[in-house]
Amino acid sequence: MPRARHLASVPANERVTSLDERAWQRRRSPSGQTSELPTQVPRELKLRLYRAMLLSRRLDERLMALQRQGRIGFHVGHRGEEAAILGAAAALRPQDWLVPCYREFGALLYRGAPLSAYLDQMFGNDADPAHGHQMPDHFHSKAHRCLSVSAPIGTQLPHAVGIAYAARLKGKDDVALVFFGDGATSSNDFHAALNFAGVWRAPVVFACRNNGYAISLPASKQTASDGFACKAVAYGIRGEQVDGNDALAVYRATRDALEAAAAGEGPTLLELVTYRLDAHSSSDDPRFYRSDEEVAAAMAQEPIARMQRALFETGELDERADEALRNAVEAEITEALRVAEERPKPALDTLRKDVYAHTPWHLRGTT
Amino acid sequence: MMEMNMVQAINAGLHQEMAADPDVVVLGEDVGRVGGVFRVTQGLHEAFGEERVIDTPLNESGILGTAIGMALYGLKPIPEIQFADFIYPGFDQLVSEAAKYRYRSGGEYTVPMVVRTPFGGGIKGGLYHSQSPEALFIHTAGLKVVCPSNPYDAKGLLRASINDPDPVLFFEPKRVYRAVKMEVPTAPYEVPLSQAAVVRPGTDVTVVAWGAMLYEALAAAEQVAGDDQIEAEVIDPRTLWPLDLETILESVRKTGRLVIVHEAPRACGFGAELVSLVCEHAFVHLQAPPRRVTGFDTPFPYALEDDYLPLARRIVPALRETVGF
């Protein structure tokens, strides 16, 4: 069952309770049955969303394998979090802004960014939009209104508020959707951003992917409050907890929050409760801090199988079409990887490009 | 032309730029109705409204982070940090975000903002209202660092900074804010970035100083000119980074000597970089070791600030010793 509530409408004495392990388990273990509102979302959108989730899943698996073979330097994926990320991305309108954390490459691809450009960035080749300046998975695309990934945690949150403020000042109804993990809620910039957004009534949607862990630390080491959505209350904005493994529930919640923001009703904090099936990144080993049993239990609730079941139940997809879809995704990835890996490294002079608009004297020359 | 102090000149510049371009916005703590603690933004709130002159919550990282977002969208934000000493809570936003955005996005995204902040000592502000952190930002690739020393330069450099496509840190010497008055054009004009000014011509020793210390350097130069017949050439870099090195080198090639004056602590201060650059590019012209007259490697002291600051009385011996080497 999707768990969603507007905390601002909850009586004050019920808003914040202690972090209860049973409640936490309930959130992490939704029913795993059908998705919410299956008849209210067009089939075309559902299939596009499902395909994007499949593509992201296979990309994660293929890229992690490439990293283990030493063919790319790093990967931080979103295996298990496809519903949280792509469900939200599917709600974005073209004029809205995507402000990523680092796991949201699927959202960028969903917006129409070429797979080749993402993989060029992963390989840091001469076609990389970032000119080889950033490590893998630190992507951006101005054409798709996607800001650039930063490694310090939470720094992108105030940027989203600034984007939203600027849009309103310019008379536009653009909304900024900013992603971050549960760990980022401990950062100074999380509190600054929610506070500024609340005071300014900025059209911004905060999407917290509560995937259970910040590297090795469980969510209970990040907060003593009852999840993360309740933190919205302190900033005078809406907060909603959503079953982050249900792509259509995430889509609906994000769509509602975007519409509210665009209508001048201010920001929303969404807590998308999900689970990180893989390590934090290719540099992490989760066997140090969680059990195989826990991961197996989470795997039983993973979002792609749930979406598949829902589509099978409604008859919007059958096994044959599903297999064709998976084969097409595989072929697309294989070809794009081949092309990206064969490209050469960036030219040496890109080292000094883009520090400033014009290259000053001290960046010219060889020493 | 109108006689103005630096506060009035910057205020006039902000008025003009906001009137000319609706994308220019000002934000910070107390910048609205009060007009800032030094009244530099006075009158902007009434003229341009609270949506463009934004009184923010008290959080420097929030001020700078939201300003970055505004700049990414296409505005030209001018955040004010009330004292340079308070910039550290926003340090990460400046060095990890504003400075890196162009580089990390392959030039697709830019952050054209101007961070205004009063800096330096001499107003009995103690260790949290007197610091000179310019070297931290010069060390950060991607940032430009500007430091006017007089009202004319302040207004012209401000316009050039606003029109610059990169993030600029605009350090305003608060000791000079109301202490210096001069004729300033009422019409808009630019003082180009990265162009130093030879403030006092001389032949015997080159002195490089910026902000409020420029006046100490000039006072010292006048004293040694009268007492010792030493003619010091005093240079104000105006933009500290990217630096107009050539003007400094040209002077050192002529004088053969270099003295640098700055308020900030000595270790890894900008003076160290200037000495290195001059040694690398004009070593054979030097007739004496370059000298630095600076603050001490301590926090800024309240009761002894006149001893901490490199005032003229500490510069004069350095000039004599350098010329007499």
Q: pLDDT tens across B281-304, in order?
A: 999 999 999 999 999 999 999 999
Chain A residue numbers with beta carbons less than 8 Å from the beta carbon of B109 are: 140, 142, 147-148
- CB pair distance less than 8 Å for B106 and A129: yes
Closest Cα in chain B, distance from residue A191 (Å): 9
Which of B73, B100, B108 comes nearest A166 by C-beta? B73
pLDDT at A17 over 50: no
Q: Indicate the SS3 state at residue B53.
A: strand
Closest Cα in chain B, distance from residue A361 (Å): 8
**What pLDDT is stored for residue A28 in this prediction?**
35
Chain B residue numbers with beta carbons less than 8 Å from the beta carbon of A152 are: 92, 96-97
Between positions 80 and 119 of B, the ones with CB within 8 A of A are 89, 92-93, 96-97, 100-110
Residue A21: phi and psi, rounded to 5, are -65, -35
**What pLDDT is stored for residue A283 in this prediction?**
94
Asked if residues B237 and B271 have their Cβ atoms less than 8 Å apart, the reply is no
Q: Which of A140, A170, A188, A194 to mutate to test the interface with B (most CBs of B within 10 A)?
A: A188
Asked if residues A247 and A215 have their Cβ atoms less than 8 Å apart, the reply is no
Query: Could you identify the residue written with the tokens 């309108």?
Result: A93
Q: What are the Cα distances from residue A316, in Å, to A39, A57, A310, A322, B293?
A: 11, 21, 9, 10, 78
**What pLDDT is stored for residue A19 in this prediction?**
31
Judge whether A137 is closer than 8 Å to chain B, CB to CB: no
Judge whether A130 is closer than 8 Å to chain B, CB to CB: yes
Judge whether A166 is closer than 8 Å to chain B, CB to CB: yes
**What pLDDT is stored for residue A40 in this prediction?**
77
Closest CA to A92 of A160, A151, A32: A160
Chain B residue numbers with beta carbons less than 8 Å from the beta carbon of A357 are: 102, 110, 164-166
Which of B56, B68, B106 comes nearest A196 by C-beta? B56
pLDDT, mean over chain A = 90
**Average pLDDT value for residue range A82-100:** 98
- CB pair distance less than 8 Å for A169 and B51: yes
- Residues of B with catalytic function: 129
Type and span of the H or E element at B291:
strand B291-295
**What pLDDT is stored for residue B293 in this prediction?**
98
DSSP symbol at B314: H
Residue A327: phi and psi, rounded to 5, are -65, -40
Which of B165, B243, B245 comes nearest A357 by C-beta? B165
Chain B residue numbers with beta carbons less than 8 Å from the beta carbon of A362 are: 242-243, 245
Asked if residues A155 and B96 have their Cβ atoms less than 8 Å apart, the reply is yes
**Amino acid in position B64:** L
CA distance B6 to A117: 49
Q: Which of B18, B27, B61 to mutate to test the interface with A (most CBs of A within 10 A)?
A: B61
pLDDT at A31 over 70: no
- CB pair distance less than 8 Å for B69 and A176: yes
**Average pLDDT value for residue range B60-75:** 98
**Three-state secondary structure of B243-268:** CCHHHHHHHHHHHCCEEEEEEEECCC
pLDDT by residue (tens digit) across B91-144?
Answer: 999 999 999 999 999 999 999 999 999 999 999 999 999 999 999 999 999 999
pLDDT, mean over chain B = 98
**Average pLDDT value for residue range A88-110:** 98
Judge whether A170 is closer than 8 Å to chain B, CB to CB: yes
CA distance A104 to A60: 11
Split at pLDDT 50, 70, 90, the class of A214 is very high
**What pLDDT is stored for residue A39 in this prediction?**
58
Split at pLDDT 50, 70, 90, the class of A29 is very low
Query: Could you identify the residue written with the tokens 């800024």?
Result: B300
DSSP symbol at A347: P
**What pLDDT is stored for residue A365 in this prediction?**
74
pLDDT at A119 over 50: yes
pLDDT at A89 over 80: yes
- CB pair distance less than 8 Å for A140 and B72: no
Residue A294: phi and psi, rounded to 5, are -65, -45
Closest CA to B274 of A115, B286, B169: B286
**What pLDDT is stored for residue A116 in this prediction?**
98
pLDDT by residue (tens digit) across A316-331?
Answer: 999 999 999 999 999 9
Share of chain A above pLDDT 70, in %: 89
**What pLDDT is stored for residue A367 in this prediction?**
53
Closest Cα in chain B, distance from residue A166 (Å): 5
Which of B61, B101, B144 comes nearest A188 by C-beta? B61
Chain B residue numbers with beta carbons less than 8 Å from the beta carbon of A127 are: none
- CB pair distance less than 8 Å for B242 and A360: yes
Question: How many CB pairs (< 8 A) connect A and B?
Answer: 146
Chain B residue numbers with beta carbons less than 8 Å from the beta carbon of A138 are: 104
Judge whether A169 is closer than 8 Å to chain B, CB to CB: yes
pLDDT by residue (tens digit) across B196-226?
Answer: 999 999 999 999 999 999 999 999 999 999 9
Asked if residues A362 and B141 have their Cβ atoms less than 8 Å apart, the reply is no
Between positions 183 and 242 of A, the ones with CB within 8 A of B are 188-189, 191-193, 195-196, 199
Split at pLDDT 50, 70, 90, the class of A366 is low
Closest CA to B146 of B213, B79, B237: B237
Chain B residue numbers with beta carbons less than 8 Å from the beta carbon of A147 are: 72, 109
Closest CA to B90 of A152, A133, A181: A152
- CB pair distance less than 8 Å for B245 and A354: no
Distance of CA B72 to the CA centre of its chain: 25
Query: Could you identify the residue written with the tokens 């795997």?
Result: A299
Closest CA to B14 of B111, B172, B148, B158: B158
Which of A169, A192, A361 comes nearest B62 by C-beta? A192
pLDDT by residue (tens digit) across A219-260?
Answer: 999 999 999 999 999 999 999 999 999 999 999 999 999 999
CA distance A94 to B98: 26
Between positions 252 and 311 of B, the ones with CB within 8 A of A are none
Between positions 41 and 60 of B, the ones with CB within 8 A of A are 51-52, 56-57, 59
